[in-house]
Structure 1
Amino acid sequence: MSDRYKGSCLCGQVRFEAAEFKEHIAHCHCSMCRKFHGATFGTLAQVKSLTWLSGQEILKDYVAPNGTIRTFCSHCGSSIGFRSKNNSFDQMELALGLFDDNLPVSMDAHIYTEYKANWVQINDDLVQYPEGRE
């Protein structure tokens, strides 16, 4: 059996565990990720075997004009995850900052750098994509 990694929102009411992170993980600089996370970029990853331990009933969704769905804790406002249009709840990419454990992941790119904040300088050697990976 693979390792399980636990995570939670700021207030602790939403708790989950997951295993196996997808291979490609990027820092997303699109304006929606920046606003959703209140940060320079959002870093999310798809996982396997996502299990909600508590709080699934207090999760709320925001559906953006482009159809993407951002899920958050309705109690503390923590950014929980992202889904592409037409993706199911089980296909949610989770915000890596929610995890309580050290994770076996490494970032491989910056995406949507065309939309990064003008005051941000990217000072690492990761590949930069002006749009998505395509």
Structure 2
Amino acid sequence: MGERTGSCLCGGIEFTVTPGSDKVGACHCNMCRKVAAGPFMTIGCDSDFRVTTGEDMLGVFVSSDWAERGFCKGCGSPLFWRLRDGSMMQLSVNSLDDPGTLTFDHEVFIDHKPDYYSFAQKTHQMTEAEVLAAFAEGKSS
């Protein structure tokens, strides 16, 4: 995948990123659903995220002992979730200007998904316990 551009809703933050793959995931954990008003749809980009406009508009909220979330201070758009040590970053796929051809591939914290929505696609699904075990082993989906 080549370099992509993206921004927040108000345009106060613009960025470039080269996603690590074309695989989109959805997180159903309680925090992600509150941040995104539904499942948080992301694509892995790790350390390649670079703010090109509006670095001063980028807010970071420490959401747990090990993770933090980036957002626009102006419009509140959620932009990413990352491990605090910088070893993993998931970008909001909906913040990309042109996501191109992507594949909805996996869902995490599936045991936290409310019953009132579901996706038509078949995906690889992981429970909270499976996700935490994968992190402990140093893997991600």
Shorter chain as denominator, the TM-score bin is: 0.7 to 0.9
Over 3 Å counting, the alpha-carbon distance change for 1:110 and 1:54 in structure 2 is: same
The TM-score normalised by the length of structure 2 is 0.79
- Using the aligned pairs only, state the percent identity: 25
Inter-partner Cα distance in structure 1 for 2:3 and 2:118:
34
Match of residue 3 from structure 2: 4
Inter-partner Cα distance in structure 2 for 1:109 and 1:36:
19
User: Is 1:100 matched with 2:104?
Assistant: no
Matches within 5 A, 1:80-95: 80-87=79-86, 91-95=88-92
Say what the alpha-carbon RMSD is for the aligned residues.
Answer: 2.2
The TM-score normalised by the length of structure 1 is 0.83
Q: Greater share of helix residues, 1 or 2?
A: 2
Inter-partner Cα distance in structure 1 for 2:20 and 2:98:
13
Match of residue 52 from structure 2: 53
Unaligned residue ranges in structure 2 (runs of 5+): 135-141
- 1:88-115 per-residue CA deviation (whole Å, 9 max, x = no partner) reads 6xx5321000011133421211111111
Which region of structure 1 is more displaced relative to structure 2, 17-26 or 7-16?
17-26
Partner AA of 2:52 in structure 1: L
Residue 7 of structure 1 and its aligned partner are, at CA, apart by: 0.6
Contact 2:8 2:75 in 1 (8 A): yes
Matches within 5 A, 1:1-134: 3-22=2-21, 24-39=23-38, 41-47=39-45, 49-87=48-86, 91-131=88-128, 132=131, 134=134
